[in-house]
Structure formats: structure tokens, C-alpha cells
Amino acid sequence: MTRMVLALIFTGLAGLFATTSIPADVLLIEEVRQAGRMKVPENGTKSADVRSRFGEPAKVHQPVGDPPITQWEYEHWSVYFEYDLVLFTVLHKGEVIDKKTE
């Protein structure tokens, strides 16, 4: 009896999450495709190379933590460094989606 109740609850929850997550999954896939076409610093790039290729950042935050993590903000994205190397680049909210209507 307990297994049947748990199975019904699990099935109901799975159905609820499946119906609500489909649009988010489609949007995420499209965002990943578009992000792949954007020119942003790659992981492992030196800060001097980022500066020479993309110019001066709009804002540079002070290092935080140990090892020190530094954030540079550009117009459409921010880049995070550990010491002198790029850890990752994060696109600002709404920057991934192509706003052109075709």
C-alpha cells in the first residue's frame, strides 16, 4: 500500500515538473547555442590578453577570498579571474537572447 501511494505521488510530481520545465529547457538550449557564437574570453586566458583583445573593462572589482577571485565587468558580460587566469565568463541577464525579430 505504501509503495502504491509513493508511486502515485512520484508520478504526479514528475508530471507536474515535466509540464512546467519544457519551455525553460527549450529556452536554455537556444541560449546555449547563442552563447557559443558570442566572442568572450576563454577559460585559462591571461588577464593581459583579455585586456588587449577586449579593451578596458567598465568596472574592476577588488579581489575576494583565497585564492583571490577578481571580477571585471564589460558591457554584455563579466569575466572572473583566479590570480591572472580566466576562470569563467558570465553573460549579463538578457544578453544571450537575440533581440532581433526576423
- Note whether 45 and 85 are same-domain residues: yes
Q: What is the pLDDT of residue 72?
A: 97
Q: What's the rounded mean pLDDT across residues 53-79?
A: 94
Task: Classify burial at 22, counting beta carbons within 10 Å of its beta carbon; exposed 0-12, middle 13-18, buried 19 or more.
Answer: exposed
Q: What are 70's strand-pairing partners? A: 81
Full domain range(s) for residue 17: 1-37
Q: What is the pLDDT of residue 102?
A: 44
- Do residues 76 and 65 touch, judged by C-beta distance below 8 A? no
- Note whether 32 and 45 are same-domain residues: no
- Note whether 2 and 22 are same-domain residues: yes
Q: What is the pLDDT of residue 23?
A: 54
Peptide bond between residue 67 and the one before it cis (omega within 30 degrees of 0): yes
Beta 85-91 vs 77-82: how paired, if at all? Answer: antiparallel
Grid coordinates representing 26? 527549450
pLDDT digits (tens, 9 = 90+) for 47-58: 999 999 999 999
- Note whether 23 and 72 are same-domain residues: no
